């Protein structure tokens, strides 16, 4: 089995460890420094993989990316920042999903999933396809909203 490899804390060089939490009824993980308490962002255990190991790896990935970037330790990787900006925009403005349906958890799920699949993602079409798949988990079908936008009647 693959092992979690955690780099030392980017701030103090301390030893990093995985911390499990409950947040809004879901299990999530973050990586924390045992010396200074610095933390990574949290990664949620998601319904479609239901694996805490995957979530722990996601947290480790973000922690390690930050540890790599010690010139500016607080800087989020550019790709991650791009995806974070792109997801809410595409959900609301490309898919026309009403903003009240787009919960922070859905955005978080989409951002992480795109980030994890960023090696195979090469354009906006594949990004949108991926988002459509993810939205199915929440019973959101972008086609419903696109039809409304056209004001179409059968
Ligand atoms: Zn530290």
Give the pLDDT confidence of 88-144 residue by residue, as tens digits: 999 998 899 998 899 888 998 898 888 877 765 557 888 898 899 999 989 999 888
Q: How far apart are CA 149 and CA 74, in angstroms?
A: 41
Q: How far is the CA of 16 from the centre of ligand 1 (A)?
A: 8
Pick the residue with more confidence: 138 or 69? 138
Q: Tell me how far the alpha carbon of residue 130 lies from the centroid of ligand 1, in angstroms.
A: 36
- 17 alpha carbon to ligand 1 midpoint, in Å? 11
**pLDDT for 148 beyond 70:** no
Q: How confident is the model at residue 149 (pLDDT cuts 50, 70, 90)?
A: very low
pLDDT at 1 over 70: no
The alpha carbon of 151 and the centre of ligand 1 are apart by a number of angstroms equal to 55
How far does the centroid of ligand 1 lie from the alpha carbon of residue 107, in Å?
29
| Ligand 1 centre distance from Cα of residue 12 (Å) | 4
Tell the burial category of 98 from Cβ atoms under 10 Å away from its Cβ (0-12, 13-18, 19+): exposed
Rounded CA separation 108/114 (Å): 10
Give the pLDDT confidence score for residue 119 in this predicted structure: 62
pTM for the whole structure: 0.48
**What is the chain's mean pLDDT, rounded?**
80
**DSSP H/E element including 51:** none
Q: How much distance in Å is there from the Cα of 36 to the middle of ligand 1?
A: 4
- In angstroms, what is the span from residue 77 Cα to ligand 1's centroid? 19
38 Cα–ligand 1 center, Å: 5
| C-alpha 134 – ligand 1 centre gap (Å) | 35
**Quick one: pLDDT band at residue 6, thresholds 50, 70, 90?**
very high
CA separation for the pair 108, 151 (Å, rounded): 31
In the chain the beta strands, taken as DSSP E runs, fall at: 16-23, 26-33, 43-44
The lowest-confidence range among 22-26, 48-52, 130-134 is: 48-52
């Amino acid at each position: 089995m693959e092992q979690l490899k955690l780099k030392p804390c980017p701030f103090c060089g301390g030893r990093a460890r995985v911390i499990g939490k409950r947040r809004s009824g879901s299990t999530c993980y973050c990586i924390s420094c045992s010396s200074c308490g610095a933390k990574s962002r949290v990664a949620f255990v998601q319904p479609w993989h239901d694996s805490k190991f995957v979530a722990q790896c996601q947290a480790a990935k973000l922690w390690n990316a930050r540890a790599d970037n010690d010139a500016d330790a607080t800087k989020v990787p550019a790709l991650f920042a791009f995806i974070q900006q792109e997801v809410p925009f595409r959900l609301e403005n490309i898919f026309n999903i009403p903003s009240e349906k787009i919960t922070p958890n859905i955005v978080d799920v989409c951002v992480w999933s795109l980030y994890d699949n960023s090696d195979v993602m090469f354009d906006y079409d594949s990004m949108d396809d991926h988002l459509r798949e993810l939205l199915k988990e929440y019973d959101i079908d972008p086609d419903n909203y696109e039809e409304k936008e056209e004001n179409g009647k059968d």
